[in-house]
Amino acid sequence: MRAVWLPLVEDERKRLPDNAAPVQGVPAIAEEGARGPSLMTSLGLVEGEVLTYLEEHGATLLRELIRKLGRSTAMVMMGVGALIREGLVEGSQQDVNVMVSLR
C-alpha cells in the first residue's frame, strides 16, 4: 500500500517562509505536482507545538491553544486528536469547553 500525503491548503502555505526547509529525518512525500510541505509533516510540527505549549503552561482550553499557536483550527484539532490517540495528552470536557492536558 502506497502512502499519499496531502499538501497544505493554500491558506496555510502562505504562512511558511520562502526558504522553509524540510524537517531533518522526516520524508517529504507528496503526489507529483503537489507543492509545499505535506500534511503529515505539518501535523507533526503542530503536535510538537502543542506538547511544548502544554509543558510550559499546563492544562489549557482547546480554544486557547488554537488562539495561542496561531494555526488553523483544523490543524490544532487534528494534532490534539493524534496526541490523545498516542496517549501523550488527554482531553476532558468542561461544559462547552475542552481542557487539554499532558498525561
Sequence letter at residue 14: K
pLDDT in tens, 24-45: 444 444 444 456 667 778 888 9
Mean pLDDT, rounded, of the chain:
76
Phi, psi of 94 (to 5 degrees): -130, 100
Average pLDDT rounded to a whole number, residues 42-62: 93
Q: How far apart are CA 18 and CA 45, in angstroms?
A: 17
Domains in the chain and their CATH numbers? 10-102 (1.10.10.10)
Higher-confidence residue of 21 and 60: namely: 60
Confidence of residue 77 (pLDDT cuts 50, 70, 90): very high
Asked whether residue 47 carries a pLDDT value surpassing 80, the answer given is yes
pLDDT in tens, 2-14: 444 444 444 555 5
pTM of the predicted model over 0.85: no
Torsion sign (Cα): 39, 40, 45, 51: positive
pLDDT at residue 41, rounded to an integer: 82
